[in-house]
Amino acid sequence: MTYVRCEDLFKIYKVADLEVVALRGLDLSVEAGEVAAIVGASGSGKSTLLNILAGYDEPSAGQVRVGNHDLVRMNENAVGEYRRNEVGFIWQQASRNLFPYLTAVENVALPMLLTNVPSTVRMKRAEELLELVGLAGRKDHTPDRLSGGEQQRVAIAVAIANRPPLLLADEPTGELDDETASEMLDLFGTINQELNTTVLIVTHDPNIAYKVGRVVMIRDGKTSAEIRRRVSFRGIAGTADVQQQLEEFILVDGSGRVQIPKEFLDQLKIKERARMILEDGKVTIMPDGA
Ligand SMILES: Nc1ncnc2c1ncn2[C@@H]1O[C@H](COP(=O)(O)OP(=O)(O)OP(=O)(O)O)[C@@H](O)[C@H]1O
Ligand SMILES: [Mg+2]
């Protein structure tokens, strides 16, 4: 079942008289219960996409649906409700995820306060969540008395406190060393399996391709290619299996557009136009003069 669906999504930011097109006709579908990673160069639109999916920002045009929610046509109350119940969000900067003056367990309990979970249930559930992320022993620590990796674990517990079906993480491992980052990814896998949460992780880390079922590449505000580990594999594997055959696909949008990687264009000196022929069940694109 398709759970997240973006169709022909545009986001244009206006700064003074300048327009920045952050998303240009992006398509993306994610199945319920899937774990997908989103990779792409700096400025390609990854955070913009995540912020729209989190309900922090609105698209300029196009369609976005998450479950039964139409994110384009939500009023302010519905957006607030959506953010509290449907999505959990983790920022790259650990400090942005937690309130500095609250302890770990208080931080985790806070989102449940906003959804009116009774206080005894709240504290009990907050402790269980800290146990799930492996931090039962740090429950009374404020963030300044936790390591970066521990802070991000608490952030995950905060993000899933109201059991949202969707977990969004914008470079959650960006400030961590490789080993801690790898453990964090495993934790996303555990959450995906135990709570059946759909997980979308933005990352710069190419090794993630070996851990998740699907890696979607964004180029210039549009999904352009994807790598699948195995067609049937949807979660996060505990070990990065570098030997595992990865399949790479280019993505074709609703209008038949594909993106040709810049390296290919440069190598073949293709600029504004090329030739395309259909032959033997293949489409071949070649330089104009070929
Ligand atoms: N609030 C904003 N106002 C104006 N322009 C913005 C805003 N947010 C992002 N942009 C622009 O939109 C484009 C996409 O930005 P975005 O933050 O989505 O990229 P990103 O892929 O997350 O990059 P990074 O890997 O560096 O985090 C960039 O050109 C950026 O300058
Ligand atoms: Mg970003």
Dist CA 69 CA 57 (whole Å): 15
Q: Which residue has the tokens 């384009």?
A: 72
pLDDT tens-digit map of 4-46 = 999 999 999 998 889 999 999 999 999 999 999 999 989 999 9
- Give distance in angstroms: CA of 115 to centre of ligand 2: 29
pTM: 0.90
Q: Is 48 a pocket residue for ligand 1 (Cβ < 6 Å)?
A: yes
Place of tokens 């997980």: 199
Residue 280, token pair as written in the block: 């033997």
Separation of alpha carbons 69 and 74, rounded Å: 8
Q: How far is the CA of 225 from the centre of ligand 1 (A)?
A: 20
Compute the distance between CA of residue 192 and CA of residue 251 in angstroms, rounded to an integer.
Answer: 25
- pLDDT for 178 equals 83
CA-nearest residue, atom 5 of ligand 1: 13
Closest residue CA from atom 22 of ligand 1: 47
Q: Are 65 and 102 in contact (CB under 8 A)?
A: no
Tokens (6 digits) for 248: 């790479």
Expressed in angstroms and rounded, the spacing between residue 162 Cα and the centre of ligand 1 is: 29
Cα 13 to middle of ligand 1, angstroms: 9
pLDDT in tens, 84-101: 999 999 988 888 899 999
User: Which residues place a Cβ less than 5 A from the ion ligand 2?
Assistant: 47
The residue among 241 and 57 whose pLDDT is bigger is 57
The one-letter code for the residue type at 237 is A
Ligand nearest to the CA of 218: 1
Domains of the chain in sequence order: 1-86+164-259 (3.40.50.300), 102-163 (no CATH), 263-290 (no CATH)
Q: What is the pLDDT of residues 55-71, one digit of tens each?
A: 999 999 999 999 999 99
Give the span between the Cα atoms of 163 and 161, in whole angstroms.
5
Q: Of 245, 232, 241, whose CA–CA distance to 31 is shortest?
A: 232
Q: Is the pLDDT of residue 242 over 70?
A: no
